[in-house]
């Protein structure tokens, strides 16, 4: 409002003076006067209008900031499973600079198996982690020592999490807001020296440069002419289109004057630092120095050094022309020009300038951990957030989202994907094969990595979440878990008949399942039906148990779909997504405790205040003993059954549980399996649901194995629950043995369901006769050797 009064005053003044002019030239003067009045009135109206725009857009919230999504923070503690090379990858991704000694924040030094680093400090949900200098030593993929610089042990250190993306609105403008006091003084000085040396003196426009710009533009026919003040540049970016005309130039000048009238230099400078366009990353526009620093160097703005500051400020003139990743030579030349300018203006010493010019550009590599997009995982995060937040909150409020994503495991999953397809190259139709993988932590239910397609960088159909496919034999553990919950009827070594049969379903259709090898396997031990994925015995068992019972087990494991109770369900005719399938196996891997798969841990608002938390939720659905037995069958699937080829690449003594799955006509290749701390479900198939040349073992298992080989899961625990006993039994008939002898195996049973004693190692002996038995042991062994060699 005050502006309106100021602009209207001069016109009143001129009106009075015009009345005293001579009558002779009156006609012309009158016209001129009228024109001037009209012009001034128009100008006044324009000024009022522009002022309203300036004030409205500049006061209050100037920008909407997309939510930032962070990976899990790395936790360091003695005994923690972390390979030194993986730690270095993460440090580099976080923009830590290697130096001889880690004195400054954001640096590290490396000495054999010990890394010293100076962490940055970070605001987490449960409180702030302060910046600290720490030494960490590694041996064989584990942290063996963690101390401060004085050598005193430190219990646990958490490093700031890697930024893995943002949730952008439609226009995809991205920025990290910085306050002026967070900006290194060198940066503002450089900016002023390079772009607008009179910044602190002018009123928003520099008449000299306007004149020059008009002249040059007129004579050169619209060529871009710099020389606008920082205020004008801000106005141009903030309020105006990129059109270059005299009218726009005038508007820009007027608005600049208005801006300077209302706001002080620091506010304008701070706005400029956050608004300036510094590059294009696909559809995402990089705005402001805060984000540019992360985008080009993976470092916070405060840590930038002379050569980095010079590069960023140099890029203001033309972010794509001087793009350091695409035009490194041009960018280097421009950077060095800026450094020289700084020295000539005495901002830095000549010596510092020489040193800075010797440094490489130092931009982080595109596609490195620091500079990668994770569309599949972010898609999951977005979907889970949408249950609690409005879209607008996510794209505009600058929320900080903390997820469970493990960028190191994600990278290993992506590497495994590459290796797997390389290994499958040359197979018929392999080009059309798509894939997905879900990686979770069995004991927390947290999603650690996600592959949604064969091209992990491509944000398209997210197969991990949306590919709804028949799960084939992945359904079978539900049948066996149903059986093993009835220890009075079934144990792992009960006998099953694997033979052809037919049943009529409710609609009168005849169903005659077949084994994959089209053979019958006769009498088998119960666990073998699962381990070798025999269809006949598994389906028969499921029918004996009753379809509703098996469906109930599936629901307990986490199935949320309504599958019709058809017999074909027992062999996996029902469809699920890889993500849902991971949920089923999660319950198996977590001792019968169901928890929904979570990708988000907590949310902070833009000011770092806690907003929401996604706590651990568990629900016991099954007896731990029955789960343990089912897991034993799945473990044997890996050592002797359909999953055994995994051990071509994995260490033999690594205890894992898993299951292959293949749908009808080889349309879907599945594998689900886990160790103590990593669970992964892999799927391969065609988007058009066509036939592939892959079984669960030749396709998805390869991806799974390639992943586990580098992900290094911890062996499954061998501590059975309270109600389980482990019994030594003979491997031929499955009877308990009263004493050990060659060939016997260990098998878990629910207490009370142990098998009766047999005669595999000789006569059952009473404890009193122990001595006699020991004497005759040799004889029994000879006897066994005798028939073994037969």
Partner 1 sequence: MKNKSLAFLMAATVLSGCGTLRPSIPVVDAGAPVTPGAMRDRDARQGAVVTESRNEAPVAYGAPESQYVKPDTGYAPSAPIQGEEFDAPLHTPESIYESTAPSTPTPIAAEQQTSAVVAQIEPPVLALLSTAQQQQNQGDLNGAAASLERAQRIAPREPQVLYRLAEVRLAQGDAQQAEQIAQRGLSLSSGRPALQAGLWDLIAETREKRGDAAGAAQARQRARISL
**Distance between CA atoms of 44 and 95, rounded to whole angstroms?**
52
Please, what is the minimum distance in Å from the beta carbon of residue 528 to partner 1?
7
For partner 1, the binding residue among 37, 624, 710, 777 (CB under 8 A) is: 624
Please, what is the minimum distance in Å from the beta carbon of residue 85 to partner 1?
16
- Under the binding rule (CB under 8 A), the answer on residue 674 touching partner 1 is no
Name the residue nearer to partner 1 (CB basis): 236 or 712.
712
Catalytic residue among 160, 195, 396, 434: 195
**Distance between CA atoms of 491 and 755, rounded to whole angstroms?**
9
Name the residue nearer to partner 1 (CB basis): 564 or 743.
743
Cβ neighbours for 330, distance < 8 A, ≥ 6 positions apart: 321, 322
Restricted to residues 14-73, the positions that interact with partner 1 (CB under 8 A) are none
Q: At 743, is the secondary structure helix, strand, or coil?
A: coil
- Under the binding rule (CB under 8 A), the answer on residue 689 touching partner 1 is no
Cβ neighbours for 268, distance < 8 A, ≥ 6 positions apart: 230, 231, 234, 259, 260
Please, what is the minimum distance in Å from the beta carbon of residue 125 to partner 1?
5
Catalytic residue among 206, 228, 473, 669: 473
For partner 1, the binding residue among 155, 425, 510, 768 (CB under 8 A) is: 155
Name the residue nearer to partner 1 (CB basis): 98 or 655.
655
Give the DSSP H or E segment for 541. helix 535-545
Q: In what order do the strands lie in the sheet with 277-281?
A: 173-175, 284-287, 277-281
CB-based contact 263:231 (threshold 8 Å): no
Restricted to residues 730-769, the positions that interact with partner 1 (CB under 8 A) are 730-737, 740-747, 750-760, 762-764
Restricted to residues 233-252, the positions that interact with partner 1 (CB under 8 A) are none
- For the chain, percent helix, then strand, then coil, each to nearest 5? 45, 20, 40
Known catalytic membership, residue 2: no
Name the residue nearer to partner 1 (CB basis): 312 or 678.
678
For partner 1, the binding residue among 7, 209, 293, 528 (CB under 8 A) is: 528
**Distance between CA atoms of 490 and 751, rounded to whole angstroms?**
13
Whose tokens are 């290094």? That residue is 712
- Under the binding rule (CB under 8 A), the answer on residue 123 touching partner 1 is no
Please, what is the minimum distance in Å from the beta carbon of residue 427 to partner 1?
25
Restricted to residues 431-460, the positions that interact with partner 1 (CB under 8 A) are 441, 443-444, 446
- Under the binding rule (CB under 8 A), the answer on residue 153 touching partner 1 is yes
Buried b (16+ CB within 10 A) or exposed e, 307-317: bbbbbbbbbbe
- Under the binding rule (CB under 8 A), the answer on residue 721 touching partner 1 is yes
What beta strand segments (E) does 351-509 contain?
400-403, 433-441, 446-451, 469-470, 495-498, 503-504
Restricted to residues 158-197, the positions that interact with partner 1 (CB under 8 A) are none
- Under the binding rule (CB under 8 A), the answer on residue 717 touching partner 1 is yes
Restricted to residues 335-374, the positions that interact with partner 1 (CB under 8 A) are none
**# residues contacting partner 1 (CB under 8 A):** 112
Beta bridge partners, 507, equal: none
Known catalytic membership, residue 473: yes
C-alpha distance from residue 16 to each of 4, 7, 22, 23, 279 (Å): 20, 16, 14, 15, 54
Please, what is the minimum distance in Å from the beta carbon of residue 725 to partner 1?
9
- The C-alpha angle with vertex 350 and arms to 345 and 354, in degrees rounded to 5, equals 125
- Under the binding rule (CB under 8 A), the answer on residue 377 touching partner 1 is no
- Under the binding rule (CB under 8 A), the answer on residue 80 touching partner 1 is yes
- Under the binding rule (CB under 8 A), the answer on residue 729 touching partner 1 is yes
Give the x/- contact pattern for partner 1 in 293-332, rule: CB under 8 A: ----------------------------------------
Please, what is the minimum distance in Å from the beta carbon of residue 512 to partner 1?
17
Name the residue nearer to partner 1 (CB basis): 110 or 654.
654
For partner 1, the binding residue among 65, 71, 94, 496 (CB under 8 A) is: 496
Restricted to residues 587-616, the positions that interact with partner 1 (CB under 8 A) are 591-593, 601-602, 610, 613, 615-616
Restricted to residues 556-585, the positions that interact with partner 1 (CB under 8 A) are none
Least Cα distance to 496 among 532, 547, 549 occurs for 532
C-alpha distance from residue 727 to each of 569, 736, 759 (Å): 34, 7, 15
- Under the binding rule (CB under 8 A), the answer on residue 75 touching partner 1 is yes
**Distance between CA atoms of 241 and 248, rounded to whole angstroms?**
9
Please, what is the minimum distance in Å from the beta carbon of residue 378 to partner 1?
22
Q: At 407, is the secondary structure helix, strand, or coil?
A: helix
C-alpha distance from residue 626 to each of 370, 417, 480, 591, 754 (Å): 44, 34, 9, 9, 14
Please, what is the minimum distance in Å from the beta carbon of residue 361 to partner 1?
38
Buried b (16+ CB within 10 A) or exposed e, 639-664: eebbbbebeeebeeebbbbbbbbbbe
- Under the binding rule (CB under 8 A), the answer on residue 620 touching partner 1 is yes
Give the DSSP H or E segment for 657. strand 657-662
Least Cα distance to 665 among 687, 688, 692, 685 occurs for 692
Instruction: Bin 191: left if φ > 0, else alpha if -120 < ψ < 50, else beta.
Output: alpha
Least Cα distance to 290 among 307, 272, 306 occurs for 272
Kindly report the number of other CB atoms within 10 A of residue 164's CB atom: 24
For partner 1, the binding residue among 723, 765, 776, 781 (CB under 8 A) is: 723
**Tokens linked to 332:** 């280097």
Give the x/- contact pattern for partner 1 in 454-493, rule: CB under 8 A: ---------------------------------xxxxx-x
Q: Which stretch binds partner 1 (CB under 8 A): 170-178, 293-301, 375-383, 619-627?
A: 619-627
Please, what is the minimum distance in Å from the beta carbon of residue 479 to partner 1?
13
- Under the binding rule (CB under 8 A), the answer on residue 519 touching partner 1 is yes
Please, what is the minimum distance in Å from the beta carbon of residue 242 to partner 1?
46
- Under the binding rule (CB under 8 A), the answer on residue 788 touching partner 1 is yes
For partner 1, the binding residue among 151, 651, 767, 778 (CB under 8 A) is: 651
- Under the binding rule (CB under 8 A), the answer on residue 618 touching partner 1 is yes
- Under the binding rule (CB under 8 A), the answer on residue 728 touching partner 1 is yes
Name the residue nearer to partner 1 (CB basis): 251 or 698.
698
- Under the binding rule (CB under 8 A), the answer on residue 623 touching partner 1 is yes
Restricted to residues 532-551, the positions that interact with partner 1 (CB under 8 A) are 532, 544
Q: Which positions are catalytic?
A: 195, 473
């Amino acid at each position: 409002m005050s502006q309106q009064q100021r602009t209207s005053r001069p016109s009143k003044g001129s009106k009075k003076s015009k009345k005293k002019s001579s009558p002779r030239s009156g006609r012309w003067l009158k016209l001129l006067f009228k024109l001037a009045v009209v012009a001034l009135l128009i100008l006044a109206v324009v000024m009022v209008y522009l002022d309203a725009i300036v004030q409205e857009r500049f006061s209050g919230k100037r920008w909407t900031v997309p939510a930032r999504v962070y990976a899990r923070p790395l936790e360091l503690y003695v005994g923690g499973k972390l390979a030194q090379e993986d730690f270095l990858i993460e440090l580099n991704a976080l923009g830590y600079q290697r130096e001889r000694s880690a004195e400054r924040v954001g640096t590290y030094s490396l000495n054999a198996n010990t890394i010293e680093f100076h962490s940055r400090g970070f605001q987490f949900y449960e409180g702030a982690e302060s910046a600290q200098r720490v030494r960490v030593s590694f041996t064989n993929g584990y942290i063996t020592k963690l101390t401060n610089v004085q050598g005193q042990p430190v219990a646990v250190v958490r490093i700031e999490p890697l930024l893995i993306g943002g949730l952008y609105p439609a226009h995809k403008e991205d920025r990290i807001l910085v306050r002026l006091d967070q900006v290194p003084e060198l940066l503002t000085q450089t900016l002023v020296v390079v772009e607008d040396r009179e910044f602190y003196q002018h009123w928003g426009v520099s008449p000299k440069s306007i004149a020059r710009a008009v002249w040059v533009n007129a004579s050169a026919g619209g060529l871009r002419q710099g020389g606008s003040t920082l205020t004008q540049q801000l106005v141009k970016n903030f309020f105006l289109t990129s059109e270059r005309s005299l009218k726009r130039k005038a508007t820009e000048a007027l608005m600049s004057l208005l801006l300077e009238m209302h706001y002080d230099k620091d506010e304008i400078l701070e706005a400029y630092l956050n608004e300036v366009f510094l590059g294009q990353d696909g559809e995402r526009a990089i705005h402001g120095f805060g984000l540019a620093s992360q985008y080009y160097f993976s470092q916070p703005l405060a840590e930038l050094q002379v050569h980095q500051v010079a590069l960023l400020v140099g890029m203001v003139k033309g972010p794509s022309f001087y793009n350091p990743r695409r035009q490194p030579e041009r960018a280097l030349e421009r950077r060095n020009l800026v450094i020289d300018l700084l020295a000539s203006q005495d901002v830095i010493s000549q010596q510092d300038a020489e040193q800075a010019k010797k440094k490489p550009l130092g931009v982080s590599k595109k596609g490195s951990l620091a500079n990668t997009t994770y569309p599949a995982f972010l898609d999951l995060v977005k979907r889970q957030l949408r249950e609690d937040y409005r879209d607008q909150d996510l794209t505009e409020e600058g929320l900080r989202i903390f997820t469970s994503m493990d960028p190191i495991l994600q990278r290993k999953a992506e590497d495994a994907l590459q290796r797997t397809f390389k290994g499958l190259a040359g197979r018929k139709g392999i080009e059309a094969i798509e894939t997905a993988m879900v990686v979770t932590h069995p004991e927390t239910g947290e999603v650690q990595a996600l592959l949604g397609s064969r091209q992990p960088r491509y944000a398209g159909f997210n197969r991990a979440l949306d590919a709804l496919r028949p799960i084939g034999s992945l359904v079978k553990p539900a049948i066996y878990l149903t059986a093993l919950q009835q220890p009075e009827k079934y144990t792992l070594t009960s006998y099953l008949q694997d033979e052809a049969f037919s049943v009529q379903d409710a609609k009168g259709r005849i169903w005659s399942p077949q084994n994959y090898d089209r053979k019958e396997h006769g009498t088998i031990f119960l666990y073998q039906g699962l381990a070798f994925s025999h269809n006949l015995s598994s389906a028969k068992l499921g029918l004996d148990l009753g379809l509703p019972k098996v469906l109930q087990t599936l629901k307990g494991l986490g199935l949320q779909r309504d599958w019709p109770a058809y017999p074909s369900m027992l062999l996996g005719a029902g469809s699920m997504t890889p993500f849902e399938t991971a949920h089923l196996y999660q319950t198996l891997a977590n001792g019968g405790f169901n928890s929904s798969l979570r990708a988000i841990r907590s949310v902070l608002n833009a000011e770092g205040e806690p907003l929401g938390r996604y706590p651990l939720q568990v629900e016991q659905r099954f007896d731990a003993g029955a789960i343990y037995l089912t897991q034993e069958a799945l473990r044997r699937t890996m050592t002797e059954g359909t999953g055994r080829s995994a051990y071509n690449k994995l260490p033999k003594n690594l205890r894992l549980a898993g299951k292959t799955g293949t749908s009808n006509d080889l349309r879907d290749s599945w594998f689900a399996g886990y160790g103590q701390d990593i669970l992964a479900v892999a799927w391969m198939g065609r988007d058009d649901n066509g036939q592939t040349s892959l079984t669960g073992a030749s396709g998805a298992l390869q991806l799974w194995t390639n992943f586990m080989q580098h992900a290094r899961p911890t062996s499954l625990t061998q501590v059975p629950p309270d109600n389980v006993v482990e019994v030594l039994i003979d491997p031929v008939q499955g009877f308990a043995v009263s004493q050990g002898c060659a060939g016997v195996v260990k098998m878990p049973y629910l207490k009370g369901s142990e098998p009766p004693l047999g005669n595999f190692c000789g006569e059952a002996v009473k404890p009193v006769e122990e001595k006699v038995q020991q004497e005759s042991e040799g004889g029994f062994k000879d006897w066994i050797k005798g028939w073994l060699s037969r």
